[in-house]
């Protein structure tokens, strides 16, 4: 197939129409309405994401992955929304993208290479966010982070922006897959302290034999 011909907007239009047909066929095969909504949400994200500027893509991707990780964690943690809400506020233990990445890994719901890529995407986001002037994926520091991403599935010829965008979609697919299988950890029953009066009686007896005085803490256990 020739590769040196100019690809026109009409070519892209035909391609997009063909993909919409494929998408409709795939969605019709899903039994769950929630699954269909989730897939459509991802499709909408991808369309917006791919049309963004480099800076916009980095900020959008990190925010969406962060939100998706939060959803995964909420599905895995004990089902107590009131306590979970406190954990996910900004100054809570799960209030940052970084903490959510690491906690998902420590719970065993994402692998080490996903943890590494998510942290790289977080650093790429920060790289864009902390520069006021023009900046792109060709920036040396950002390109270096993109070169170490793993979830893109492309070779070294791909641009850093392509590696980034493909890695984001790969990670998103993994997180959504893990979310579907995730179940809440069981809530532990309240712990009942064992009756310690026998031990207290023994201690009191020794105390009273050795001192000739009443054990001072006896009334704490009567």
CATH number at residue 156: 1.20.120.330
pLDDT at 83 exceeding the cut of 90: yes
Q: Is residue 208 part of a domain?
A: no
| Residue 187 falls inside a structural domain | no
CA pseudo-torsion sign 118, 124, 130, 133: negative
Q: Clarify whether residues 47 and 67 are in a common domain.
A: no
Do 137 and 45 lie in a common domain? no
- Report the sign of the C-alpha dihedral through residues 93, 97, 101, 102, in that order: negative
Q: Sorting pLDDT into bands at 50, 70 and 90, what band is 147? A: very high
218 or 56, which is more confident?
56
Domain assignment of residue 168, given as a range: 53-181
Residue 117 lies in a domain: yes
Band (141; pLDDT cuts 50, 70, 90): very high
List of residues 6+ apart from 101 with CB closer than 8 A:
69, 110, 115, 118, 119, 122
Identify the pLDDT of residue 130: 92
pTM, to two decimals? 0.79
Answer whether residue 212 is part of any domain: no
Indicate whether 106 and 168 sit together in one domain: yes
Domain identity same for 82 and 173: yes
Judge contact between 170 and 151, C-beta under 8 A: yes
- Distance from C-alpha of 183 to C-alpha of 181, rounded to nearest angstrom: 7
Q: Note whether residue 124 is domain-resident.
A: yes
Residue 221 has pLDDT above 80, yes or no: no
Q: Is residue 203 part of a domain?
A: no
Query: Could you tell me if 29 and 90 lie in one domain?
Result: no
Q: Are residues 14 and 68 in the same domain?
A: no
Q: Are residues 65 and 123 in the same domain?
A: yes
CB half-sphere exposure, 107, CA atoms < 13 A: 23
Residue 167 structure tokens: 């890695």
How would residue 35 be classed by pLDDT, with cut points 50, 70 and 90? low
Mark whether 21 and 70 lie in a shared domain.
no
In a domain, residue 219? The reply is: no
145 lies in a domain? yes
Block residue for tokens 């201690």: 203
């Amino acid at each position: 197939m020739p590769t040196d011909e100019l690809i026109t907007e009409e070519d892209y239009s035909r391609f997009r129409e063909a993909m919409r047909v494929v998408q409709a066929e795939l969605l019709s095969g899903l039994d769950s309405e929630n699954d269909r909504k989730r897939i459509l949400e991802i499709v909408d994200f991808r369309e917006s994401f791919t049309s963004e500027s480099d800076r916009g893509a980095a900020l959008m991707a990190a925010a969406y992955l962060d939100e998706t990780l939060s959803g995964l964690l909420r599905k895995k943690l004990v089902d107590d929304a009131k306590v979970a809400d406190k954990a996910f506020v900004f100054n809570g233990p799960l209030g940052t993208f970084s903490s959510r990445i690491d906690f998902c890994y420590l719970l065993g719901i994402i692998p080490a290479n996903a943890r590494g890529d998510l942290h790289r995407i977080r650093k790429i986001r920060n790289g864009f966010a902390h520069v006021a002037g023009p900046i792109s994926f060709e920036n040396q520091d950002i390109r270096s982070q993109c070169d170490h991403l793993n979830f893109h599935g492309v070779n070294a010829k791909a641009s850093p922006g392509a590696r980034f965008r493909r890695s984001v979609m790969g990670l998103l697919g993994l997180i959504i897959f893990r979310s579907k299988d995730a179940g809440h950890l069981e809530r532990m029953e309240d712990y009942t302290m064992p009756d310690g009066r026998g031990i207290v009686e023994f201690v009191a007896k020794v105390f009273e034999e050795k001192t000739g005085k009443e054990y001072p803490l006896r009334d704490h256990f009567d």
